[in-house]
Amino acid sequence: MRIANRLLGGGALLLALSLGGCYGNGSTRPHLAVILPSSQSQAGFTELESIPFSFQKTGLATLNLTSTRARIWNAYFPATGMAPKDAPLFVFLNGGPGCATTSNLFSMNTAPYTLDREHQQSAGAQLSKNPQSWTAIGNLLYIDAPMTGFSYNLMPNPDVTLKRQAEFDAQNQNPFIDAAQVIRVLLRFLDEHSDIRNNPVVLVGESYGGTRVSTMLNLLLFHEQYGTGAKVYKDATLAAEIKSFFSQGLATGTVSVAPEIVARQFGRQILIQPQLTGDYQNQEAGTLYYQDGSVIDQISREAWGLPFLRAGNVDKFTYVTFVVLPFCGRDRYIYTKWANSPFYAYSDSLETFALQSLTSVSAMNTLLGGQDVRNIPGFRKEQRTEAYRYHTGGSSMTATAGEDLSDWAKAWIETQEESNLYQASLLGAQGAGSFEAEFGKPDYWDAHLDTTNAYVFKRFMSNQATVKGFPVSPDKSPLFGNMFLENISLVSTLLTDAELDLVIYSPALPKALERHASIVKSVATVRGSQTPLKTHGTFQVNYVPGSLAPLATPASVTIQYPYYPTSGHSVSSAQPDKLLLDVRNWMAQ
């Protein structure tokens, strides 16, 4: 209700309702679990050191920062359809920012077991074998980004509130340090598993995971520039680690590792309903929603018998997704599903179903291929004396008043706070066999599992770096779209087109990319819905000549754009069989 009142005012709301309203390569890292051969499933925490980095931009004073230490959860599963030593490594990353990979891509029909309520093999089952497991086509590595899922940060005396609060800022929450931490985990994992160390790596990002993957690839491909401060983010230790990793096998004394060399291993990406261009996507989606006869008109007519009221002087995307859709009783992540109230929707209950198993010791043992989570250091309360993942707790944790946030970001935060409370009510008390019963109840600034950390999201969008003018907000900066456009000149890309997703509205993306006019001349799109078989489309980016210099600028790049007519935001939940087949065929090209 707060969102609606802010966007519309009380009287307009009633009308809307009535109308439808520094580690060297190969060195030993702190690891909290036994490192097993790549032929065996394994999971645990990787502990990352504090990382010094800086932001720099012409006309601004350099901003020097240092992250806190972090324990990053990762789970690995070997290929079953081929020998692991011969298989590509798929690396799964969800988005938000602040959303867990564990409760999303890991749970929703890509891993050996599924926690998707809609795909259980027997009635009442909480988990079952997944016939669509991606182990059929490769090795799998799932990573919970910092302070999401099972991952958490570390600091001395986290019980000191003001000290803990100070750590929620740009030193820990921004797209670059986030991507840099995930890269460190990935490269060190590969270093520890020599038989798959040089195998092809495919980064898989969902939602904001698209921005995360774009940032990771840009850091990898152009690490030298990120090491010298030629780009907005400078991380000399990461650049050195990347160079060391890729220099192995090259001629002794190699001065540099060119982007083309990096792309030999990191040459593919899969982006599932990705956020790529910041606010451009939202703006273009809002424009499309306001067109006569739009999908929002269709939904409103079904709910109320009338087209929706096109309110003026509002952010169109925010108004539609956070006001109109809830009051039409529809889930914005998959609009054919119903919402139980203005806040609680089908997607919440689907995720909550998965959380029941993710917080059960016996279920997790099964999910991890027989590894006993009780033997994984980092879960027990006595091992988490420096752990933290929350600001203060309670509603003040996600207050948005006075923050430099877009209407969309404010609405997302407020809605997610309500959603988290709803999920907690569905989960109920933690009983026998739960993580809480086995490992001890965490302090209120900590938790064993957090599927969506709204305060992480908040500080990505607004922090001391964004306030000082550095273009590092994924919500407002076009920088991340520019990086995507750089990356695809070297990296083969599959990008999903889900018909029922209104958070990432597929028809808006080509128009959003065309707004990067210094790089993009035009975008030619053929959606699968426009083809005779209605299965596959193409997505061609035509470049401004010389716009990627000093890289060789291609005339155009074609992206595979498979169509999912019954999918919303979570394609792996709605159409896991088609997604796996599409990826398999694409990998064979």
Q: What is the pLDDT of residues 155-165, one digit of tens each?
A: 999 999 889 99
Going by C-alpha positions, the residue among 443, 346, 341, 430 that lies closest to residue 389 is 443
Residue 40 in any domain: the answer is: yes
Contact between 336 and 350 under an 8 Å Cβ cutoff? The reply is no
User: By three-state DSSP, how is residue 338 classified?
Assistant: strand
CA distance 255 to 243: 9
- Is the Cα torsion angle 188, 189, 193, 194 positive or negative in sign? negative
What's at 363, amino acid-wise? Answer: A
The whole-number pLDDT of residue 427 equals 67
Residue 205 in any domain: the answer is: yes
b/e per residue 125-151 (b: at least 16 CB within 10 A)? eebeebebbbbebbbbbbbbbbbbbbb
The whole-number pLDDT of residue 32 equals 62
Residue 148 in any domain: the answer is: yes
Going by C-alpha positions, the residue among 344, 350, 365, 355 that lies closest to residue 427 is 355
What range defines the domain where residue 120 resides? 1-262+279-496
Count of structural domains within the chain: 1
CATH of residue 6's domain is 3.40.50.1820
The whole-number pLDDT of residue 399 equals 66
Residue 286 in any domain: the answer is: yes
Residue 553 in any domain: the answer is: no
For residue 564, give the DSSP letter. Answer: E
Q: Is residue 201 classed exposed, middle or buried when 0-12, 13-18 and 19+ CB atoms within 10 A define those classes? A: buried
* Per-block mean pLDDT, blocks of 10 residues, the chain (589 long): 46 36 41 78 96 97 98 97 96 94 96 93 87 98 96 95 92 97 97 95 97 98 96 97 87 75 96 95 97 96 94 94 91 86 67 89 95 94 94 58 82 79 68 88 90 91 95 94 97 97 96 97 94 91 96 96 96 97 96
CA distance 520 to 543: 5
The answer for residues whose C-beta is within 8 angstroms of residue 125's C-beta and 6 or more apart is none
Residue 534 in any domain: the answer is: no
**pTM as predicted:** 0.94
The whole-number pLDDT of residue 123 equals 75
pLDDT digits (tens, 9 = 90+) for 22-70: 344 433 445 566 688 899 999 999 999 999 999 999 999 999 999 999 9
CA distance 118 to 105: 15
Q: Where are the extended beta strands (E) located within 379-476? A: 387-388
The whole-number pLDDT of residue 538 equals 92
Residue 504 in any domain: the answer is: no
Q: Are strands 139-143 and 89-93 parallel, antiparallel or unpaired?
A: parallel
> If you compute the radius of gyration of the chain from its CA atoms, what whole number of angstroms results?
23
Residue 550 in any domain: the answer is: no
The whole-number pLDDT of residue 429 equals 62
Q: How many of the other CB atoms lie within 10 Å of CB of 342?
A: 17
User: By three-state DSSP, how is residue 96 classified?
Assistant: coil
